[in-house]
Chains A and B, each alone.
Chain A
C-alpha cells in the first residue's frame, strides 16, 4: 500500500476529520438547531451522570486538606487493604491472562463443534450478578458448603479469608482477556501461523514471534481492563470477605467501612486512589487504540 494511502487511512481514523466530513455533506447535515440541541442535551447528560460523580470523588477527598488525605492513605488498615488489593490483582490477572491466551488460541485457530457454546460460557461471569458470584464460592467452600467440612478438618480457610477473595476476583475478571483476544485473533486468521509452522517454527516460537506481535495491543488492553476490575471489585468480594479489618479488606471494602463510619474525607481519599486507577486505565485504552490504529494503517 502506498504511503499516501496510509496517511489517508490514518487521518480518516482521526475523529475530528471525520465529523467535519459529515457536516460538510448536505445529505448528512442536520439543521443547526437540531445539531445544537443534540449536542446540548447529550453533553449535559454526560456531564450530570458521568463527569460530576468523578469530580465529586476528588473534591470530597481533598475537602479537609492534604494532611487528612495523606493520613487516610498511610493509616495501617488502609495500607493492608491496598496490599490485599494488589495481591488479589497480582494472582487473578496472570491466571486469566494465561486462560485468555489458551482460550483464544483454541477458539480462533481450530474448528471444533460447540465453539459458540464455549464462547457463551466464557462470557457467563459478565452476566452473573457480583453478589451471586460471591455466593457460589460460599456454597462450594463455605462452612456449610460442599468442601466446608473437609476444609475445616484440615484447617484450611477459604471463605472469609484471602483465598476466597482471590477466587471471587478471578471469577469476575474471568472473560476480560479472552474477550479482547478472540475477535482480534479471529480477524488475523491463521495463515501467518501456518506459514511459520510450515517453515519449521515450533509451536511456542510461532506464538511468540507471529501471533503475539499481531495481538499485543489488544492483549495489553485486556490485561489493563482485567486489572481495573480486579482492583475495584466490590460485590463479589464483599460476600466472601467477612470484612475483617486489616486482614480481609480490599480497598473498595475499606471505602465502604470508612463511609459507613461517617469518615467521609477518608473514604473519598481511598476512593480517589481507585478513581485515579480508573483514569489511568482509560488513558491506556486511548493510547492502545491509537497504537493499534497506527499499526493497522502501516500494515495495509
Chain B
C-alpha cells in the first residue's frame, strides 16, 4: 500500500485532526446554520422572500454589474498583464506591485475614496457632471467599485501563464508565415484562455459578494442601486433573520456553484499549460 511509506513522517493524525476540527468549528458548522435556519421557513415563504421585487432588482444589479465589471477587467486586465510581461517602461515595478492594491486595501477605504472621486463635486465627478454622466449614487458607481476590486484577479492569473509561455511557439508561428495578430489569436490566446476565464470567474465571484467598497458609492436607492448583500443587512436591521437567511442561501448556492466552476477551470489551466496550480 502506497500510504505505508508515506507514514515515515509523524504528525498525520494530529495535523489532520486539528485541521478538521478547526475547519468544522469555524467554517462548516456555522455555514450549515444558514441552511438549517432557512429550512424553518416553508418553501412558499422562502420563495416569496427570495423573489420579492426589491430582492429581484438587487440580483439584477449585483449579477449584472458583476458580470460587466468582470468582462471589463478581463479585457483591460489581459492588456495590463501583457504590458507587465512583454514591455519595459519606467515605473513598471511600482505598477506591478500596486496591481495587488485591491487585495490589501480595506474595502471601506476603497469605498469612500471612490465616492470622493466620483461624487458630483469630486475630481472625476465634476468633469463627468457637465457631460450628463452621473457615477456616484447610481448603478454606474457600483460598476466602478466592482472594477476596482476585480482587476487583480485577472492580472494575477494571466501574468504567470504569460511569463512561462515559451517564445518558441510564436517563433514557429511566424516562421510558418503567420503575422503578429494571427500568432496571438491562434497561438498565444488559446494558451491564456483557461487562465483568463479563471480570472474572470474569480473577479465575478468576488464582485457578487462584495459589500464594503460598493455601499458608499452606490447610494443604496431601493430598486435602483441596492446590491444583494445590502438586502441581507437591511433584513437583519429589521430583525428579519429568516428573510436574511433565505437571501444568504441564494448567495451561498451561487458562490458554491461558481467555486466548483473555478476549480474546474484551474484544472483545465493546469492541463493546458502543464503548470501545477
Contact = CB atoms under 8 A, between A and B. Distances in A.
Given A131-B233, A190-B9, A282-B98, A144 B263 contact: no
B227 to A, nearest CB: 10
A89 to B, nearest CB: 12
Interface string A176-203: 0000000100110010011001100011
A177 to B, nearest CB: 12
Interface of B: 2-3, 6-12, 14-16, 18-20, 22-23, 26-31, 33-34, 37, 76, 79-80, 82-89, 92-93, 95-110, 112-114, 116-117, 123-124, 144, 147-148, 151, 163, 167, 170-171, 173-175, 180, 183, 205, 208-212, 216, 229-230, 232-233, 236, 241, 244-245, 248, 251-252, 255-256, 258-259, 263, 276-277
A127 B33 contact: no
Nearest to A252: B108
Contacts, number: 317
Nearest to A30: B180
B167 A56 contact: no
Query: Which 6 residue pairs spanning A and B have beta carbons closest together?
Result: A232-B106, A129-B209, A234-B212, A235-B211, A203-B10, A278-B104
Interface string A149-182: 0000000000000000001001100100000000
Nearest to B230: A131
9 contacts: A16-B92, A28-B171, A34-B180, A49-B151, A57-B113, A111-B6, A118-B20, A120-B263, A135-B248
A42 B34 contact: no
A139 B37 contact: yes
A103 interface: yes
Interface string A92-118: 000000110011011101111000001
B109 A57 contact: yes
B22 A125 contact: no
Contacts of B244: 135
A225 to B, nearest CB: 7
Most interface-central of A132, A140, A267 (chain B CB within 10 A): A132
Nearest to B3: A111
Contacts of B9: 109-110, 190, 193-194, 197, 203, 206
A136 interface: yes
B15 A281 contact: no
A145 B33 contact: yes
B31 A136 contact: yes
B86 A19 contact: yes
A294 to B, nearest CB: 16
A256 B108 contact: yes
Which of B19, B84, B110, B248 is most buried by chain A, counting CB atoms within 10 A of its CB?
B19
A175 B9 CA distance: 24
